[in-house]
Chain A
């Protein structure tokens, strides 16, 4: 874990993302705070629709035109929200690389992979096409792409899902970025391949001091890789803190619910308990805590006031009931 006194590499403050839809708008991200330090792996966890991807796309200015973002995203001292397109372009693929959930559709089907990787190199450096191509092959070797020299001219459809995700990683790391944003990097892959990709990310992170923002809905992925965990629910952070605390002493009912629904090899006898109900639609602003309708511990106040994010031990938690109990419990000890 990195030293907390140095200024953070990526600092997101009070980020809001709104999508214009047919009848009104969806407030997908509602005041997100997220900090990533150099060399740190920060996981963002949540169900689909919780605003994880939208907030990362907003960071890089990649949102669709029907979306708007407000707040502040500072990367190494530069404000990215509302930055002029050339500045954003130099950071995208240059100092921040990004890989996406579905490697099947994220590669251009009509260009060979060497060309697609070389394109990332040429965009950010003054190199000849030939140099870029040999760099592309090097990158493929770096991500353990088998037989990279010979298979560099393959087209995406000739590769398996895992191979394609390696290509995506090679592309994202083409210009030695400081941060890799990985949006559900293993969701679309087989379990064995998932493990390989996670291994790859882990080793890359160590060899290059790469910071990673890992977006996922899979807590299993988080446990093996992340330093800090940010649990998102309905566009906000429910709980965030060091990975150890989140897993061993979860404070927010939603985190507790997530962990309870996770099968664990070390405790095969434990029963899995799913969280009942569905996440709210964000067509209109929820009143009170957005998790309250599904929450076992909810009291009347939960339906009226949205709890702020407050420090509880090493974590930040947005719940007005449970942490209180643990605090009083601690106090009585």
Chain B
């Protein structure tokens, strides 16, 4: 675990420094590169003189203090930028997790109980579509059809155009608007979350439901399920209490991995829905060669992934009695 942490940090650093393009060019502009005084001043300012090892050491020391450097693009500390954008991403991710998690388990369990019937085929097709369609394309199609053509859903963005954000307390617009007592705004914010959450959740749902279905079909033929039936238990209870409870375990193991996919998809969803979160920050940083920014985002993603895996392990230990006591 500590090793992994250091590894993530090192890789993030390496990516940003061991590259053919000169980051200075993007700071001072290509035209100014000919001017040695400006270049030297910039090197000094951004800490780019000194050997790569020194840079690494400075980078590590700053990291411990929570200092990820100053973004070339926004000219603000990267840590500040990330924290500023985190609530937007979390709002989206939580919504998508609810849509994908609940929908995925329900759909997978339903498909398994109707194996090889029409309902099974339909739900499998729906899940497969979710994981075979590029997220950015689904987002565009949804926006075009449901917003531009039918007008059923609001357009992109976290807020209606020309609306002031609620007072900043938590950064979550839904929570802040409630704290302001502004229920109209709360409803609007919530309503704007629906489409991006569904787009983001669909891919996740697809993956989860395939796993739940496969895991349940594996369990359905096991001996203890036969025991449960031999007790005279109704089929519905056999499914819920015995099959699903065990099917959870293999599903849980990939939760960390699906979380990574969620992060991936959130980059695209945020881009399409003009959502000012970490995903769109990543894209902007990558496109402007803002290395402190890229660094910060990679680190953030790596850490989030690490945390997700940790959470998976904890959840697994709670769900599996064999591990709880070990």
Contacts and interface: CB of A to CB of B under 8 A. Distances in A.
A/B touching: CB–CB < 8 A: yes
Interface of A: 60, 62, 64, 85, 89-94, 97-98, 100, 102, 105-112, 119-120, 123-124, 155, 157-158, 168, 171-172, 174
A198 B21 CA distance: 79
A172 B231 CA distance: 7
A123 B231 contact: yes
Contact of A90 (B221, B232, B241): B232
Nearest to A155: B321
B17 interface: no
Contacts of A158: 325
Interface residues of B, number: 24
B227 interface: yes
Interface of B: 221-224, 226-235, 241-242, 245-246, 249, 319-322, 325
B231 A102 contact: no
Given A107-B224, A110-B319, A157-B322, 6 more contacts: A100-B227, A102-B223, A105-B224, A109-B224, A120-B231, A123-B233
B321 A108 contact: no
Contacts of B321: 109-110, 112, 155, 157
A299 to B, nearest CB: 43
A304 B236 CA distance: 49
B227 A106 contact: yes
Nearest to B230: A98
30 contacts: A60-B230, A64-B221, A89-B232, A92-B229, A92-B231, A93-B232, A97-B230, A100-B227, A105-B222, A105-B223, A106-B224, A106-B226, A107-B224, A108-B224, A108-B242, A108-B245, A109-B322, A110-B245, A110-B320, A111-B242, A119-B228, A119-B233, A119-B241, A124-B232, A155-B321, A155-B322, A157-B321, A157-B322, A158-B325, A171-B227
Contacts of A106: 223-224, 226-227
A90 B234 CA distance: 10
Contacts of A157: 321-322
Contacts of B231: 92-93, 119-120, 123, 171, 174
A119 to B, nearest CB: 6
Nearest to B224: A108
B interface SS class: helix
A210 to B, nearest CB: 16
A151 to B, nearest CB: 13
B226 A62 contact: yes
A168 B242 CA distance: 16
Contacts of B320: 110
Contacts of A174: 231
A99 to B, nearest CB: 8
Contact of B227 (A89, A90, A91, A168): A168
Contacts of A90: 232
B229 A62 contact: yes
A19 to B, nearest CB: 14
Contacts, number: 77
A93 B249 contact: no
A282 B233 CA distance: 33
Residue from B223, B246, B249, B325 with most neighbouring chain A CB atoms (10 Å)? B223
B234 A89 contact: yes
Contacts of A60: 230
B245 A111 contact: yes
A75 to B, nearest CB: 14
B246 A100 contact: no
A211 to B, nearest CB: 17
B70 to A, nearest CB: 51
Nearest to B326: A157
A157 B223 CA distance: 15
A62 B92 CA distance: 46
Contact of B246 (A85, A108, A119, A124): A108
Contacts of A172: 230
B227 A110 contact: no
The list of the 3 closest CB pairs from A to B, nearest first, reads A93-B232, A93-B231, A105-B223
A112 B245 CA distance: 13
B223 to A, nearest CB: 4
A105 B229 CA distance: 14
A97 B229 CA distance: 11
A83 B175 CA distance: 57
A92 B228 CA distance: 10
B98 to A, nearest CB: 24
Nearest to A65: B115
A57 to B, nearest CB: 8
A15 B74 CA distance: 80
Nearest to B321: A155
Contacts of A123: 231-234
A94 B226 contact: no
Contacts of A108: 224, 227-228, 242, 245-246
Contacts of B241: 111, 119
Contacts of A155: 321-322
Contacts of A89: 232-234
B232 A91 contact: yes
A282 to B, nearest CB: 21
Contacts of A110: 245-246, 249, 319-321
B221 to A, nearest CB: 7
Contacts of A100: 223, 226-227, 230
B232 A107 contact: no
B232 A94 contact: yes
Nearest to A105: B223
Nearest to A61: B229
Nearest to B221: A64
Residue from B222, B228, B231 with most neighbouring chain A CB atoms (10 Å)? B231
A158 B227 CA distance: 19
Contacts of B232: 89-94, 120, 123-124
A107 B221 CA distance: 13
Nearest to B219: A108
Contacts of A97: 230
A106 B226 CA distance: 8
